[in-house]
Amino acid sequence: MKIIFSFLLVFAPAVRAGTPKYAPVDGAAAVPLSLDNSYFRNPANPAYDYWGLASFYVPQGSGSSCSAAAVSMALNALLNARRQRGDEEENISEGKLTEKVTGLKWKELVSEAGADGRHGLTLEQLAAASKEALAAYGAAEYSVGGVAVSTRSALSLEDFRKALSENERDPRNIMLLHFTQDTLTGAPGGPYPHISPVGAYDEKTRRVLLFDVDRQWYEPYWAADTQVLKAMAVKTAAFGSGGYVILKTGK
């Protein structure tokens, strides 16, 4: 009689020592989307931005190109999502985007070499680049508004929540955040000024979903709107305080 043996090999995942991913900051911890996606399973939440951005979710191409990745996602969601496109139409990529926008040294600022002794964009530059990008890609009607966040006051929080709620209900808007990433993820060694789109806002739980373009380390994650406000208000020597930029198309 022939006896056949079957062996199951189980490999334990490698564990990296150090600070846990999404470590709490001042008691607030981000929650990865893979652990909590109930918001998107509720038919009462159309989540226009989430589905538009998810279709074009890309990683930043370099350590300094978060702005280009974020704006390319925003433009794809606003101009290319939810419409029939021709086979000859390419998705908007960060490389071609920074070639088209020439009003500032965007291509140089997101390169490894940088420009003028700095890498990346300020909040004001992010708004300017977004506006020029919409024009360059033929948006018929558009507007770009930027809001600097320098305090964590009750009024700043009220305005931010109102903007988040309006953005969540309108498929013509995309919000980009200029914030310190480590304030949300607990990554050691910060501050790390960063830019990424808002994927959704859950008004009931008052949480913001960030489509973090730093795909080497992160997946989308939920963070309390109060903590996001704090992350935007952090001031750094190179960029000052952060804030948010809203891109809108159509009437």
Q: Is residue 35 part of a domain?
A: yes
pLDDT at 34: 96
Per-residue model confidence (pLDDT) at position 243: 98
Residue ranges making up the domain that contains 53: 31-81+90-249
The sign of the CA dihedral 25, 192, 214, 57 is positive
Per-block mean pLDDT, blocks of 10 residues, the chain (251 long): 45 59 94 97 96 96 96 96 87 93 94 90 97 94 95 96 97 97 95 97 98 97 98 95 96 60
Domain count, the chain: 1
pLDDT at res. 251: 60
Residue 42 lies in a domain: yes
Q: Whole-angstrom Cα distance, residue 149 to residue 130? A: 18
Has residue 107 been placed in a domain? yes
**232 is a domain residue:** yes
Does any domain span residue 13?
A: no
Residue 102 placed within a domain: yes
Q: How far apart are CA 233 and CA 79, in angstroms?
A: 30
> CATH code at 163?
3.90.70.30
Q: Is residue 125 included in any domain, yes or no? A: yes
Two tokens, residue 116: 């003028």
Task: Decide if 44 is inside a domain.
Answer: yes
Of 134, 116, 81, the C-alpha closest to 245 is 134
pLDDT for residue 93 = 94
